[in-house]
Chain A
Amino acid sequence: KAGVTQTPRYLIKTRGQQVTLSCSPISGHRSVSWYQQTPGQGLQFLFEYFSETQRNKGNFPGRFSGRQFSNSRSEMNVSTLELGDSALYLCASSSGQAVSNEQFFGPGTRLTVL
């Protein structure tokens, strides 16, 4: 079974631009969660989608948004990029049927904002 895939793997943007990241979950999984990883703040939850609906949201500004498609693929968008948005963005795939279902992470997208 194929794992979680994320595209692109690396991105370089400048301040003020916007960016869209993509995540394809494990086949059959309906939940996709997004996390931001930085050296200073560690791993922080952004939001989670299940069956095209956002179920949970972390404490990030409205510049961070996402969506999920009917095939469970998810995209995350960051508008008006700031230097502090430089991070590794990870998505995690889960069946989503229960809180204690395992979450499997993709390799991440490394975003650098100049």
Chain B
Amino acid sequence: GENVEQHPSTLSVQEGDSAVIKCTYSDSASNYFPWYKQELGKGPQLIIDIRSNVGEKKDQRIAVTLNKTAKHFSLHITETQPEDSAVYFCAAIREDSSYKLIFGSGTRLLVRP
């Protein structure tokens, strides 16, 4: 079955710096890759997603890139702010309509003021 690996597990950056979180997936049939942000005491919040027919997508300070050949995708946050501090999860889902999100293990991002 699908397996998603996420790195790093923790990331500490200075406010204003960029943060990059990387994920790799095993199943070449996966075609949709969302990213979620989870703050303490809350459910995961969808922040950006990318489909397999697109190589890059950007939304203000957040961008995601996808390399289908290498089976990896990355989240890029620029000009980080303290409110970006949270746990970030990548996920993947298959083409076969399983509706089953396979999540990475999460990255705890700390943005130091």
Interface residues of A (CB under 8 A from B): 4, 6, 31, 33, 35, 42-45, 48, 50, 55-56, 58, 90, 92, 94, 96, 99-100, 102-108
Among B31, B34, B102, B103, which residue has its beta carbon within 8 angstroms of that of A102? B34
| Residues in B whose Cβ lies below 8 Å from that of A42 | 103-106
- By Cβ-Cβ distance, the 6 closest A-B pairs, closest first, are A100-B32, A105-B43, A43-B103, A45-B100, A48-B99, A105-B44
**Which of B15-23, B65-73, B74-82, B89-97 lines the interface with chain A?**
B89-97
Among B34, B98, B102, which residue has its beta carbon within 8 angstroms of that of A56? B98
Residues of A contacting B: mostly: strand
Shortest beta-carbon distance, B22 to chain A, in Å? 17
A99-B97 in contact (CB<8A):
yes
A-B contact count (CB 8 A): 65
Nearest CB in chain A to that of B49: its residue: A102
Residues facing A in B4-53 (CB within 8 A) are 31-32, 34, 36, 41-46, 49, 51
B103-A99 in contact (CB<8A):
no
User: A43-B103, A45-B101 are known contacts. Are A104 and B31 too (CB-CB below 8 A)?
Assistant: no
| Residues in A whose Cβ lies below 8 Å from that of B41 | 107
Nearest CB in chain A to that of B45: its residue: A105
